[in-house]
Chains A and B, each alone.
Chain A
Amino acid sequence: MSARGLARGVIIAFGATYLLLPLAGVLEFAMRMRRGVYSFDAFFTVFEDHRFGDTFLYSTVMALVTVLIGMLIVLPAAYAVRLHAPRLRATVEFVTLLPLVVPAIVIVFGYVRLYGSDSWLPLTDSDFGADALLAFGYVTLSLPYIYRSVDAGLSSMDVRTLSEAAESLGARPVTVLLRVVLPNIRTSILSGAFLTAAIVLGEFTFASLLDRPAFGPFMQLLGASRAYEPAALSLVAFAFTWGLMALIGAIGGRRKGT
C-alpha cells in the first residue's frame, strides 16, 4: 500500500470510529435492559408503546404536509425572483434565513398570542386549527433549508434560457415550471424535503407548546422517565434518518441528465 493509500485508510478509520463508536456505545447500553444478558427488550418496549406509533405517524404526516406547503410557496417564489426580480434575491434570502435567528420559542409564543382563543382567528381552539398552525410553523422553521436547496438547484441550471426555450415552444409558465424546472432540480427538492422531514420529526418546542401529539415531545417524555428505552429510540430514529438518506440517494441517482 502506498503512503497515500495508508494515510487515506487511517483517516477513514478515524472518521468511522468517531461516528460509529458513540453509536456502538448507545447500542450496547440499550441492550443491557435485562440484567446480565444482552437483549432487545428496550426496543420491544418502545415498539409496544402505542404512543411511539401514534406520534411517529403524526409527525410523518406533519413532515409531508410541511414539505408540500413549503415547496408550493418557495418553488414559484424562488423561480419568479430568479427570472423577474433578480435584485430581490438578497432580500428574499435574508427573509428566509430569519427563522434561524428568531428562536422557535419566540415564534410559537407569537403564534399563541395571535391565534389564541381570545384572538380574531382562534386556531388553537380546535385540533385541526392547532394542527394547521403547527404545520405553518414548521413551514416557517424549514424555510431556510427549503429555500436554500431550491435556490441551489436553480443555480445549477440556466433557468432563464431553458424557460425561454420552453416558452418559445409554446409552453405556459406553469408548464415551464412543472415540465422543465421541476424535473431538473429534483435532487435539490428531495434534499430540501429530507432536511425538512428530519427537522419536523425531531422538533420539540412548537409541538410541545401547541400541545400536539408529535414525536419530539414523546422522545423528550421517554428520555425524562426511562433509562434504556431512550437509547433504543434514538437508534431507531437514526436508522430511519439513514434510510431516508439512502432513499434520496437512490432516487436522485436513478435517472440520467440531472
Chain B
Amino acid sequence: MSFLSVRGVKKAFGPAVAVQDFSLDAERGEFVSLLGPSGCGKTTVLRMIAGFEKPDAGSVVIDGEDVTHLPTRARRIGMVFQSYALFPNLTVEGNIAFGLKVAGVAKAEIAARVKEMLELIGLPKLGGRYPVELSGGQQQRVALARAIAIRPRILLLDEPLSALDAKIRVSLREELRAIQRELGITAIFVTHDQEEALALSHRVVVMSAGWVEQIGTPPEVYHTPRTPFVATFVGTANVLPCRIEDVAGRLSFHGAPLALDHALTGVTGGEAMMALRPEAIALAPFEGATNRLDATVRDVTFLGPVARVRVVLAGEIEALVDLHGEATRILPEPGSASVLYFRPESLQLLDRRDRAG
C-alpha cells in the first residue's frame, strides 16, 4: 500500500461542491503537486489531508493509519502556508521550537534540532530575530524549518511561494526541492503555477472545477495531456476539432488526413478534439513530420529565441506555431499561404468528458 492514500474524497460547502471525487496515492519520499486555477479544489484537498476540513465522503490514510477522523494535531503532518503564518511573538528559534515544545521534547534536544534546522535553511545566525525583521523569503524558510522540525510524516505546502517576488520564488523553489529530496520526506504541494509544479514534482495532479483532470509525471502531463483543460492549462496548446476515421489512428481535420502514432482502442469514429503544441510544428518539412496542414499566416511576433506565428486553418480556426533557433531567421509574411508540418507523436487525442459542475 502506498504511503499516502486518499480515496474517493468529496467535499461541499453548502451548495458549492469544492471537491468532486478525489483519489491519490503517493509513495514515501514522493513530491506530488496539485495544480489548477483558483477554485479548482486543490487547497481543499490539502486541507482535508491536513485535517482542517472534514471530507463528506472518502478516506485519508497515512502510512497505513486511517486519519480521516483524527484531529490535525494527531496526524503528525507539517504544514507551510502561503502567508508564512509565523508566530509574531516568538523569535525564529521560538517558532522552530514550538512544535517540539508542545510535544514535550527535552530542552537539549530542542536546542540541537533548532540549530540543525537553522543550518538546513541557511539562516544559522538569525535565530534571535523576530519574524517582522525578516524578508518574505527568509520567513518562508523559517516556516519550512518549523514544519519539518517535528519530523512530520508528510509535508503539506499551500502555495508557499506565491507571496514571494519572482527571483526569490525561483531560488527558494530550488532550495525546497533540495531539502525535500535530502530528507526524503513525502510532500504535497499546492500551486496554480504550472512552471512550479513541473519543476518541483515527481508527479502532478491537474485539477479543474473539483475534478482530477489528469495525474502523471511532468513530461507525461505536458506531452500527453488527456483533456482539453490540461492541454491548455499546462503550457500552450492548439486544441482543434477532428474526426476519428478508424481504429488504426487515422484522423481528419476538415477533410485533411492526419495520423496518430498509435492505434486507438474502443473508439470507433466520430467527432473528437486533439491537441498540438505550438513548438511541435514547423513551417518547413523535417524528418518524421508526416502530418501536414495548409494554413494562412495571420501575424508574426518575433521574441528573440522564439517567433510566435498566428495562422488560420481551414479558413476559420486560429492556431499558434512557435519557431525556434534558425527557423526564426526568415519569417513568413502575414497573409501568405503556408504548410504546417508535425510528427504523428505530437498529435494528442483528447478525452471529451462532459461534466456537471
- Residue numbers of A with Cβ under 8 A of B are 157-158, 161-162, 164-172, 175, 179-180, 183-184, 186, 255-258
Cβ of B131 and Cβ of A170 under 8 Å apart? no
User: B77 contacts which chain A residues (CB < 8 A)?
Assistant: 168
Cα distance A183–B95 in the bound complex, in angstroms: 13
* B311 is an interface residue with CB less than 8 A from chain A: no
List 8 A-B pairs, minimum CB-CB distance, nearest first: A169-B99, A168-B79, A165-B85, A183-B89, A257-B130, A161-B85, A167-B72, A257-B88
Cβ of A168 and Cβ of B130 under 8 Å apart? no
In the assembled complex, the CB of A189 is this many whole angstroms from the nearest CB of chain B, namely 13
- Residue numbers of B with Cβ under 8 A of A are 50, 52, 71-73, 76-79, 81, 83, 85-90, 98-99, 102-103, 130-133, 143, 146-147, 150, 156
Cα distance A88–B256 in the bound complex, in angstroms: 64
Cα distance A168–B156 in the bound complex, in angstroms: 10
Number of A-B contacts (CB under 8 A): 77
Cβ of A167 and Cβ of B85 under 8 Å apart? no
In the assembled complex, the CB of B13 is this many whole angstroms from the nearest CB of chain A, namely 13
Cα distance A134–B72 in the bound complex, in angstroms: 42
CB-defined A-B contacts under 8 Å, sample of 19: A157-B88, A162-B87, A164-B50, A164-B52, A164-B72, A164-B85, A167-B73, A168-B78, A168-B147, A170-B76, A170-B99, A175-B102, A179-B98, A180-B87, A180-B89, A183-B89, A186-B89, A257-B89, A257-B130
Known contacts A157-B88, A184-B87, A184-B89; A168 and B132 CB within 8 A of each other: no
Cα distance A258–B132 in the bound complex, in angstroms: 9
Cβ of A258 and Cβ of B89 under 8 Å apart? yes
In the assembled complex, the CB of A68 is this many whole angstroms from the nearest CB of chain B, namely 22
Cβ of A168 and Cβ of B72 under 8 Å apart? yes
Cβ of A257 and Cβ of B83 under 8 Å apart? no
Cβ of A257 and Cβ of B102 under 8 Å apart? no
Cα distance A25–B202 in the bound complex, in angstroms: 79
| Chain B residue at minimum C-beta to C-beta distance from A255 | B89
User: B132 contacts which chain A residues (CB < 8 A)?
Assistant: 256-257
In the assembled complex, the CB of A210 is this many whole angstroms from the nearest CB of chain B, namely 40
In the assembled complex, the CB of A70 is this many whole angstroms from the nearest CB of chain B, namely 22
Cα distance A180–B50 in the bound complex, in angstroms: 19
User: B78 contacts which chain A residues (CB < 8 A)?
Assistant: 168-169
In the assembled complex, the CB of A14 is this many whole angstroms from the nearest CB of chain B, namely 37
User: A184 contacts which chain B residues (CB < 8 A)?
Assistant: 87-89
In the assembled complex, the CB of A86 is this many whole angstroms from the nearest CB of chain B, namely 13
Known contacts A164-B72, A256-B130, A257-B132; A169 and B85 CB within 8 A of each other: no
Cα distance A11–B156 in the bound complex, in angstroms: 56
Cβ of A170 and Cβ of B87 under 8 Å apart? no
Known contacts A161-B81, A161-B83; A171 and B73 CB within 8 A of each other: yes
User: A161 contacts which chain B residues (CB < 8 A)?
Assistant: 81, 83, 85
User: A168 contacts which chain B residues (CB < 8 A)?
Assistant: 50, 72-73, 77-79, 147, 156
User: A255 contacts which chain B residues (CB < 8 A)?
Assistant: 89
| Chain A residue at minimum C-beta to C-beta distance from B72 | A167
Interface centre among A161, A170, A179, A180 (most CB of B within 10 A): A170
User: A183 contacts which chain B residues (CB < 8 A)?
Assistant: 87, 89
Cα distance A164–B87 in the bound complex, in angstroms: 11
In the assembled complex, the CB of A167 is this many whole angstroms from the nearest CB of chain B, namely 5
Cα distance A168–B158 in the bound complex, in angstroms: 13
